[in-house]
Structure 1
Amino acid sequence: MHRRTQPRPHSRTAQDRTPRRRTALAVSAALLAAAPLLTACGGDAHPGAAAVVGGERIDVASLQAQVKDVRDAQAASPESAQLVASTGDLGRRKLNSMIFDRIVERVARDHGVTASRAELQATRTAFVRQSGGEDRLATALLQEQGVAPGQIDDVVRRNVLLGKIADKVGADDSPEGQKKLTDVFTAASKDLGVDVNPRYGAWDDTRIQLASATTPWLRQVSEAPDAVGAGA
Structure 2
Amino acid sequence: MKIAAAALVAAGALAGCGDAPKPGTAAIVGEDRITVTSLSQTVRDWRGQFKNDAVANRIRAGAAGQGDQLGTEAGESDLRMALTLLVNFQVADKLAKEQGVSVPDGRTDDVLREMNQQPGGAASITLASGLPRDRTRDLARYVATKRLVLERFGADGNPQSPATMQAGQRYTQLIRGTAGRLHIEVNPRYGTFDPLRGNVGQVAYRLSSPESGLDRS
Normalized against structure 1, the TM-score is what?
0.64
In 2, Cα distance between equivalents of 1:80 and 1:167: 29
The residue aligned with 1:138 is 123
- Counterpart Cα distance in 2 of 1:178 and 1:119: 19
In structure 2, which of residues 121, 124, 141 is the aligned counterpart of residue 157 of structure 1? 141
| Pair 1:184 & 2:174 matched | yes
Q: Does the 8 Å CA contact 1:186/1:207 hold for their aligned counterparts?
A: no
What is the deviation of 1:28?
1.7
- 1:28 aligned onto 2:4: no
Equivalent position to 1:210, from 196, 200, 203: 200
- Residue 178 (structure 1) shift: 3.8
Instruction: Tell me the CA shift for residue 103 of structure 1.
Output: 0.4
Structure 2 vs 1, CA of residues 137 and 100 (structure 1 numbering), >3 Å: closer, same or farther? closer
Q: Which AA in structure 1 matches 2:129?
A: Q
After superposition, give the CA deviation of every residue in 1:194-223 in whole Å (9 maximum; x if it has no partner).
Answer: 01111212224554322459xxxxxxxxxx
1:136: how far off?
4.2
In the alignment of these two chains, the number of paired residues is 177
Q: Residue by residue, what CA displacement relative to the aligned partner does 1:77-101 show, whole Å, maximum 9, x if unpaired?
A: 4799999x95731111001111111
Change (3 A) 1:110 1:45: closer
Preserved CA contact (<8 Å) 1:25 1:159? no
2:150 is aligned with 1:166? yes
Deviations 1:139-195 (A, max 9, x none): 3442x3233221211111011001011111235665644431221101101000001
How many Å separate the matches in 1 of 2:89 and 2:143? 10
Q: Equivalents in 2 of 1:192, 1:151: separation in Å?
A: 23
- Are 1:114 and 2:102 counterparts? yes
Code of the aligned partner of 1:99: V
Please say if residues 189 and 205 of structure 1, whose CA atoms lie closer than 8 Å, have aligned partners that are also in contact: no
TM-score, with structure 2 as normaliser: 0.68
SS of equivalent residue, structure 1 residue 66? helix
Structure 1: gaps (5+ residues): 1-18, 33-42, 214-232
CA 1:201–1:160 in structure 2 vs 1: closer, same or farther (change >3 Å)? same
Report the CA distance shift for 1:86/1:73 in structure 2 as closer, same or farther (over 3 A).
Answer: farther
Q: Which amino acid aligns with 2:187?
A: N
The 4+ residue runs of structure 1 with deviation greater than 6 A are 78-83
| Identity level (%) | 21
Structure 1 SS opposite 2:118: helix
SS, match of residue 117 in structure 2: helix
Inter-partner Cα distance in structure 1 for 2:170 and 2:82: 26
**Match 2:39 to one of 42, 63, 71:** 63
Larger RCO of the pair (alpha carbons < 8 Å, separation 6+): 2
**Aligned-residue CA RMSD (Å):** 3.3
SS in 2 for 1:130: coil
